[in-house]
Amino acid sequence: MDNNHQLNSENLTHVKLNDKDIYLLGTAHVSKQSVEDVKNAVHDLQPDAICVELCPSRYQVLVQEDAWQKMDIYRVVKENKALFLLAQLGLSTFYRKIGEKLGVKPGAEMLEGVNQAENTGARLVLADRDVNITLKRIWSSLSIWSKFKLLSHLFLSMMFQGNIEKEDIEKLKNKDQLQMVMDEFAKSFPQVQKTLVDERDQYLAHKISTSQGHKTLAIVGAAHVPGIVKYLSQNIDPAPLTAAPPPAVWPTFIKWGIPILIAALLLIGFLTQGTAHSVQSIYIWVLVNGIFSAIGVTLAMAHPLTILSAFLAAPITSLNPTMAAGWIAGLVQAWVKKPIVKDLENLPKALTTLKGFWLNPICRILLVVVLANLGSSLGTFVAGTWIATRIF
């Protein structure tokens, strides 16, 4: 394999694999120069196949401008995907803000690759692993503390206001500098490094090496190029890389264990302290749970009916593993302040500022779900501890 030969561009790496010529074009995801690199590479190489670092779902979002308008917010709430969606929004917003500063749409070089495939008749290969599988595998690999840290990083990225120059973005295409950034990120989230980069390097290498044709151009982020080169000659089995992570045992244990524990505490209080004591414990459970959840929803600037629904739902849903206070509050918020198409159209712009994020009805519904559940969880811990100390 010729791993070092470069053609026409310092970001183009040539790999000879049996009778196939593979060219890896390392790009920055928000760079006008990367778009030009794609055009030039296709013109010079005339490839049989063009591989892009996209999965089918990300491809649809990129080519369909009205993708946000098709989002079913009720389904997001009912399927308990609000936190998951907020994490995706946080990640995409970081790239969008950089793109606005540089005057280029995030993923423009991938879209250019798609267009070039259509214009030249080259076979288009969506070479990346499904983003939902990647995010689920990342999430399952993290501890509770790491999940909190990751969400904090993503939330801060949504509010990112730093000045980034074009030269800084172009420097990210330098493999050594970008790898240094990845190494720093890996110190805090080593599991994320493995799932987000290493596993995808293997999957991308498999898709690129098995693409049809004698000459293939692969358009990938610069950070993936060294890993892809490493794995291209290996016989990669994609099945383990695309398997959804098995559900963790401890969330199920907690969901059913807490209601059983609270019921046991109330029963012990009744048997040892009497009826009056048990009634007081029930008051504590209802008020603490309801107030904490209502405070969370209030922080999201929700409608008064939504705040009331969170207060009433939290004490009940905390004892029912099949329900969540956030589901009830989120659906009520969506009912009293039903999002319109304009809200969906404005969502990308709303995410660029803290005010816009907080005022957009879609974001508010997602915040209501997350903060109601967070408040209810804190209320459950406080109320349960209070009830236990009164008994023991």
pTM, entire model: 0.68
Domain coordinates in residue numbering, the chain: 12-242, 249-391
Contact 376, 293 (CB under 8 A): yes
Beta strands in 127-280 (DSSP E): 215-221
State the angle between helix axes of 249-273 and 361-391 in degrees (0 to 180), rounded to the nearest 10: 40
Angle at 58 between CA 56 and CA 60, to 5 degrees: 70
- Cα dist. 103→33, 191, 304 in Å? 12, 33, 41
H or E stretch covering 149:
helix 144-158
Cα separation, 112 vs 40, in Å, equals 11
**Residue pLDDT tens, the chain, 392 long:** 444 444 446 789 999 998 899 999 998 766 778 888 999 999 999 999 999 999 888 888 777 755 555 566 666 666 666 666 666 665 556 555 555 555 556 678 899 999 999 999 999 999 999 887 887 887 787 777 777 776 676 566 555 445 555 565 555 555 444 444 455 556 667 767 778 788 999 999 999 999 998 999 999 988 899 999 999 989 899 999 998 877 767 777 887 888 899 889 988 988 888 889 889 999 999 999 999 999 999 988 899 999 999 999 999 999 888 888 988 998 899 888 877 656 666 666 666 666 777 777 877 888 898 899 999 999 999 999 999 998 88
